[in-house]
Amino acid sequence: MIEKKLQELGYDLPTAPQPLANYVTVNRTGNLLFTSGQGCFRNGKPVYQGKLGQDISVEQGYDAARITAINLLSVVKAELGDLSKIKKVVKLLGFVSSTSDFYDHPQVINGASDFLVEVLGEKGKHARSAIGTNVLPMNLPVEIEMVIEIEE
C-alpha cells in the first residue's frame, strides 16, 4: 500500500545507498529500526552541495531533505522487504550545514517531514530535531537519521 502511494505521488524508491565507511545503513533492535544518516544522493551523486545561507536556498534545502527522506525509505525497504511493515516513524534527527547567521533549519527539514506524512499519513508523524552544523560529509547541505517502529 505504501509503495502504491509512492507511485501515485510520482516517487520512485532508488536502490538503497551503500555505507560510505565502516558502519551499516540500518540497525534493528526489537521492533525499532535506527537508520544511519543519509543525504540527498541520486544515482550515487549529491544532488545539492553547499551551505544553507550561502550556497543553497531554503527551497533547495527543503528539496534536499525530501530527497534524503526518499533515500531513508529505500534503506528501510532494503531491510524489511516491504514498507507496509512500518508501524510509525518515531523520530527524525536532521542536520543542516549552514552559515552562523542561518536560522531556518526547521523549514529545511520540513522537506523530509512533509514527505513522510504525505506518503505514510498518520504513521509518518514523528518527533524531530533540526540542528545546524558548520559542515557535513561531502559538502552535503542536509543529513538525516530516522527511527522507525515496525510491525513484528
Residues 26-61 have pLDDT tens digits of 999 999 999 999 999 999 999 999 999 999 999 999
What is the spatial distance between Cα 67 and Cα 112, in angstroms, rounded to a whole number?
Answer: 8
φ, ψ dihedrals at 114, nearest 5°: -60, -40
Domain limits, the chain: 2-14+32-150
Q: What is the pLDDT of residue 72?
A: 97
* Tens-place pLDDT, residues 52-70: 999 999 999 999 999 999 9
pLDDT of the residue at 152: 75
CA–CA dist 142, 97 (Å, integer): 6
Angle, in degrees to the nearest 10, between helices 105-120 and 58-80 = 40
pLDDT of residue 119: 95
Cα separations in angstroms, 139 against 89, 103, 122: 27, 19, 33
pLDDT of the residue at 58: 98
Q: How far apart are CA 17 and CA 2, in angstroms?
A: 20
CB atoms within 10 A of CB 44: 9
Say if domain 2-14+32-150 classifies as CATH 3.40.50.2000: no
**DSSP secondary-structure letter at 134?**
S
How far, in Å, CA of 87 to CA of 80, rounded?
12
Q: For position 17, what pLDDT does the model report?
A: 84
| Amino acid type, 58 | V
CB 105 within 8 A of CB 133: no
Regions of the chain short of the pLDDT cut 70: none
